[in-house]
Copies of this chain bind each other. A is one copy, B any other.
Amino acid sequence: MGEFDLIARYFKRNTAPAQAAPAPAASLSIAKDTPGVALGIGDDCALLTPAPGQQLAISTDMLVEGRHFFADVDPAALGHKALAVNLSDLAAMGAQPLAFTLALALPPARAGDDAWMSGFARGLFALADEHRCALVGGDTTAGPLNISITVLGQVPAGQALRRDGARAGDDIWVSGTLGDARLALLALQGQLALPPDQLATLRQRLEQPTPRLALGTALRGAATSAIDLSDGLAGDLRHILNASGVGAVLDAKALRTAGATAATATGLAHARSADAGQDLQHTLTGGDDYELLFTAAPAQREAVRAAGAASATPVTRIGRIEPAQGAWLQDAQGGRQPLSDFRSFDHFA
């Protein structure tokens, strides 16, 4: 199968003659019918017509086999995750998805594996359709498996949730639960034993994360800054602190709550509570959570809780922004430990 056949078969939907390019599923939307997309796949460039008063938000993430995912990962989960990690960046800006491009390097054996290719496309498009985000272009080539997605979204001008808006006195919040993906990774690597049903739940968190798009847009006007948690809380918080020129104190007890909410709900309390210190380590440094870390003035607490409720996303207040630079973990007795004791993930470390 040639390069153009690959694109037509798996990635170009309904815009080519049906006999030449069967759509993966009949119900899938046509890219050119998506609001703002004037021209989709099949030309030198796609064309978007931005809505008046909106800014465009753009982000790029690249996933490499053996680095970001296992070679035997379910291809539908991989398709989902490749787009999810990009959508998560839009969520962290409070932006609404519009479109994405996909660059895909494939070993020839993968390109010729119809079950794998179909599964990947199915997972990718299921998430894309859920968020009305159209695939408008891309590139396929032979090479070691590599998935690079660039996503475009829109946000009303001036309302984006940036990293540089945190102010002393702001509360620090986090969505969902932290450390689930790390626990799943450890279990898959054989470093942790988990009952099969618990592993299945955590594995879904690792392999099919949920981009918090509804929460992100609901937080516009309430949050002062936001970032998505991809490398781990301790490291990602530092990006907000550096950009905003402030410091932070995290509350160890509240963090345990953020790390335990899902655990309790899904019967994972045992796995979680076996080692409280280890647990906190996962909460602070486990990557791949794709939850939102954000700040808001104390006057906005009800607005933040309302945004969480409106988007059906748990939100937990875990600390406070301080004027002096530095980041600390504080226990119930007021003792402080530097957050730099906890290391986040770094691809070249």
Contacts and interface: CB of A to CB of B under 8 A. Distances in A.
A4 B348 CA distance: 9
Interface string A40-74: 00111111111010011111111011111000000
B347 A141 contact: yes
B1 A348 contact: yes
Question: How many copies of this chain sit in the oligomeric assembly?
Answer: 2
A315 to B, nearest CB: 18
A85 to B, nearest CB: 10
A66 to B, nearest CB: 8
A212 to B, nearest CB: 12
**A55, A108, A140 pick with most chain B CB within 10 angstroms:** A55
B46 A59 contact: yes
B148 A62 contact: yes
**A55, A58, A59, A163 pick with most chain B CB within 10 angstroms:** A58
Interface stretch (A149-157, A201-209, A254-262): A149-157
B348 A67 contact: no
Nearest to A226: B44
A42 B142 contact: no
16 contacts: A39-B162, A43-B93, A43-B163, A44-B89, A44-B93, A44-B226, A45-B57, A45-B95, A46-B57, A47-B160, A58-B150, A59-B101, A60-B101, A62-B104, A142-B348, A150-B150
Given A47-B155, A50-B56, A60-B150, 18 more contacts: A1-B348, A2-B346, A2-B349, A43-B164, A43-B243, A45-B93, A47-B160, A48-B55, A49-B157, A62-B139, A62-B148, A64-B105, A64-B141, A103-B103, A108-B348, A142-B348, A143-B144, A148-B148
Interface of A: 1-4, 6, 38-39, 42-50, 52, 55-62, 64-68, 89-90, 92-93, 95, 99, 101-105, 108, 111, 136-144, 146, 148, 150, 152-153, 155, 157, 160, 162-164, 226-228, 243, 346-349
